[in-house]
Amino acid sequence: MPRHGRVVLPNWPHHVIQRGHNKQPVFHAEEEYAAYLRNLGEWKRILGCQVYAYCLMTNHVHLIINPGPKAGNLARLMKRVAGRQTRAVNARQGRTGTLWEGRYKSSPIETEAYLLACGRYVELNPVRARMVRRPEQYRWSSYRARAGLSGWGWLDPDPCYQTLGRSAPECATRYREWVRAAIPDGEWERIRQAIQRGQLTGSEQFIALAAKRVGRRVEFRGRGRPRKADK
């Protein structure tokens, strides 16, 4: 099946990843991490997007974003934040040229089945990379807010997170327990493959729903069943 363009659904969460040019670092100092988050918070408010989770790694970023009623605001948000970060880093380091890969990757997420799982995948990136032993030790992710260990600031609670309990403390406690629970076989690999290929993270039923929303076929040809996640 031929591959079509990027699929972005209005009022729907998307897993987004953007890497540094040639996989080079995009953050060199704490000020640069903090500036990226300030810009993200500012532009998501201006454009009416919601940001459910994030993790800023040395040479790439993971985000879970709901673009709101205008699907095109996902691209606008990424362009504004990336552009401002490039200008700031270039000025600080006396460099020129691009900071990021030319095109970010995104994957619409099947809400009930995968939204919490994608948030866990995003926030456990520093643990998988062996930068920290526990997610709460990493400063530049949304985990501490969602685990009830810090304030939320401009971060938005996602609809699945809000079903974990009847109060904010209960949601946070159950989220911490859920993140510590065993990861089902194949979950990380399924999420990773979806974002790398620009496919939907979800079931055949979700693919059919997305196709109906965008008015075209959106199922892509994969390479067989997902492999078990690496241990």
Q: Which residue has the tokens 């709901």?
A: 66
Q: Is the pLDDT of residue 221 over 50?
A: no
For residue 202, the number of C-alpha atoms closer than 13 Å in the C-beta half-sphere is: 25
Kindly give, in sequence order, each residue whose CB lies less than 8 Å from that of residue 193, ignoring residues fewer than 6 positions away.
Answer: 199, 222, 226
pLDDT at 106: 92
Residues 60/122, Cβ–Cβ less than 8 Å? no
Residues 65/51, Cβ–Cβ less than 8 Å? yes
Local confidence band at 193 (pLDDT 50, 70, 90 cut-offs): confident
Q: To 5 degrees, how large is the angle CA 209–CA 195–CA 16?
A: 90
Residue 54, CA distances (Å) to 16, 18, 90, 181 in order: 9, 12, 23, 20
Q: Which is more confident, 96 or 175?
A: 175
In this structure, what are the phi and psi dihedrals at residue 105, rounded to the nearest 5 degrees? -110, 145
pTM for this model (two decimals): 0.87
Q: Is the pLDDT of residue 231 over 90?
A: no
Local confidence band at 137 (pLDDT 50, 70, 90 cut-offs): very high
Nearest CA to 117 among 60, 179, 171?
A: 179
Q: Which residue has the tokens 């691209």?
A: 75
